[in-house]
Amino acid sequence: MKIITMLSAVIVSAIAISSYAATESGAMATQGYLSYGSSTAPKDGDYFGGPHRWSFGAFMDHDLRPVTIAGQKDTSWQNDRVMAFVGYDPLSWMTVQVGAGSSTLNLDDGSRDGKTEWQLALRLRLMEYMIVDPPVGDDPYYLGIEAMGRYDHGQSEGGLGNIDWNQYDAALTVHLSTRPEQVMIADKIDIYAGPGVSMLNGTRKGFISSSDISADQVIGFVGGLVLTLGSNFSIGLNLADFGGMSYGGEIVFHF
């Protein structure tokens, strides 16, 4: 119940911010254009909420954070994931994603075997405001707000006992992007950052007894960079800090 409440709070906050921006946009009509996600594709034909409803990709990440095991805090949790995923846009402003792959957990409690981890994610593109006359450069900029939620389930065998865990992530991010006409490196450059919530809980089943596992820090920060190369290929890099610096990268094809 706590997880659902926190995820709902992130999405509701994003909608409130979007509504305020919509109210204020009337006085800034000469500077930009405010648009909300709808069932119609953007006129620019960009993959982001555009005509490419399906996506397929892979990502690698290194998740580092302090956790509490059997009442002992500040235990280092290091999880290295390699996963493939498929996404679908039922609406131009919504992406549903399912993924599966391998994860290798390290708790400094002995050798552990890599096991399968699976993932379910939801991304909402809540608002996009086009700055027609930017203060720097000739190309227009786009200011957007997104909300995301993600659930991961993983297992690990070995060490001082087998571990079964669940991870719940949510974030509300502000995006600043541009579609440069003169730079041929990328068709779109997107930088984003914002607050996040990450909750982890699990159980380590030892030979004699079981121990509960929970994340020490729930509130944190996320950020990243996405480069769109051509109309259907993108590369992304991301960072997250929930008591430890996590990082990762992904490649995505849109079709």
For residue 222, what are the β-bridge partners? 194, 240
What is the C-alpha separation between 5 and 234, in angstroms, rounded? 33
The tokens describing 133, both together, are 């006359």
Residue of 181, 205, 225, 212 lying closest to 71 (CA atoms): 212
Please write the tens of the pLDDT for every residue from 55-113: 999 999 999 999 999 888 999 999 999 999 999 999 989 999 999 999 999 987 777 88
Please write the tens of the pLDDT for every residue from 156-208: 998 888 999 999 999 999 999 988 776 667 888 999 999 999 999 999 998 78
Phi, psi for residue 230 in degrees, rounded to 5: 75, -165
- CB-CB neighbours of 38 under 10 Å: 11
What is the C-alpha separation between 34 and 24, in angstroms, rounded? 10
- Whether this prediction's pTM lies above 0.95 is answered by no
